Amino acid sequence: MYKTSSGFGVQLNIEHRLVTHGPFALMRHPLYLGLQVAAIGGLLLYRTWTFVFVIVNFLALIIRAKREEEALAMEFGEQWEEYTRHVPAWIPRFRHKAK
């Protein structure tokens, strides 16, 4: 939960909390993966110079995700570290949890 910010910085909300349920239980950056899948779909559909956009966009998202993760690590400490040990950043891990 963070405020709208640029790729140059991340600003957390005052009453922020670490969200680890829903799509964030499968991966740490579901929105960014969705953007990349849509961009790749556009590339396959139009097959033009958009490949350059896809590559530049992906690199920018990696940088932004790293900055977000640094801010979250500073704010949530051990809770964040535990979360990152179990939830991958970019590729969702679908697995059945035994009860």
Check pLDDT > 50 for residue 1. no
Domain membership of residue 55 (yes or no) is yes
All residues at 6 or more sequence positions from 91 whose CB lies less than 8 Å from its CB, including other chains: 27
Domain membership of residue 38 (yes or no) is yes
- What pTM does this model have? 0.72
Count of the separate structural domains present in the chain: 1
Measured between alpha carbons, how far is 98 from 87 in angstroms, rounded to an integer? Answer: 17
Check pLDDT > 90 for residue 6. no
Domain membership of residue 95 (yes or no) is no
Domain with 18, as residue range(s), is 12-86
Average pLDDT (66-88) is: 91
Contact predicate 29/90, CB 8 Å = yes
All residues at 6 or more sequence positions from 16 whose CB lies less than 8 Å from its CB, including other chains: 1, 2, 75
* Structure confidence at residue 2 as a pLDDT band (50, 70, 90): very low
- pLDDT tens for each residue of 33-51: 888 888 888 778 877 777 7
Check pLDDT > 70 for residue 85. yes
Domain membership of residue 19 (yes or no) is yes
- Give residue for tokens 């690199």: 59
Domain membership of residue 3 (yes or no) is no
